[in-house]
Amino acid sequence: MAGGWDKARIRGDCSGSSYCARRWLVVEAEDTPHLARWRSMLDPKELARADRYHFAADRNIYTAAHALARFMLSEAAGLSTRTWRYVVGEFGKPALAAEFSKWNLHFNISHTRGLAACAIASQKVGVDVERSHRSINLGIARHYFAPEEVRILSSAAPGEQANIFFRFWPLKEAFIKATGEGPEPSSRLILLFLRTCPHRVPSRAEQPPR
């Protein structure tokens, strides 16, 4: 797909009351030819923050995530990617500046090494991606998870605990980011959808061609 974006999962339209779009982007070393175009979409503050990352991989994924957000906003509203201006909420969540309120768009981005994701919607929205193959710290779960969630995690076989942790954690993060609250109390809520699997990013072989 042009510009290096993976296929979108989109429903609704920007002028309606139920617009929702989400995309993910796997960024690897061979994607560096896209970087100049992605950087051209960002504003000076975003570029300065990207350049503060020490490692190229971190700079690149930050750049890709923020360019993806601008691309999706522009796709929805028909404006230039350089047009968008952001403000920062009480807990650090970015939002569109007041001058863009007529489009009624909310957005959220997340990135980890090698993967970026963005969601935009006509209501509050949150998204989170994590590297699920890393080891977990059960102390984090005991601090941030609700008692029932800790019980489920602790009673699982050791080989399954990481899988369960990474079913819960991204959903909690996404919920917190959608509400714009701090880590308490939302992170301790037992949400009905926590027992459902989050979207799985397809492997490189499964992804549609760019």
Residue 182: pLDDT band (50, 70, 90) is low
For 2-121, which CATH class? Answer: alpha beta
Q: Look at residue 184 in the predicted model and tell me its pLDDT.
A: 56
**127, 118 Cβ separation under 8 angstroms:** yes
Q: DSSP assignment of 137-200, as one string? A: -HHHHHHHS-HHHHHHHHHS-HHHHHHHHHHHHHHHHHHHHHHT--STTGGG---GGGGSPPPP
Residue 126, C-beta contacts closer than 8 angstroms, at least 6 positions apart = 108, 119, 173, 174, 175, 176, 177, 178, 179
Q: Look at residue 51 in the predicted model and tell me its pLDDT.
A: 95
pLDDT in tens, 90-137: 777 889 999 999 999 999 999 988 889 999 999 888 899 888 766 777
Indicate if the pLDDT at residue 8 is higher than 50: no
Domain extents in the chain: 2-121, 138-195
Check: pTM over 0.85? Answer yes or no: no
Interstrand relation of 9-11 and 86-88 (parallel, antiparallel or unpaired)? unpaired
Lowest mean pLDDT among 52-61, 106-115, 168-177, 191-200: 191-200
Q: What is the mean pLDDT of residues 48-60?
A: 92
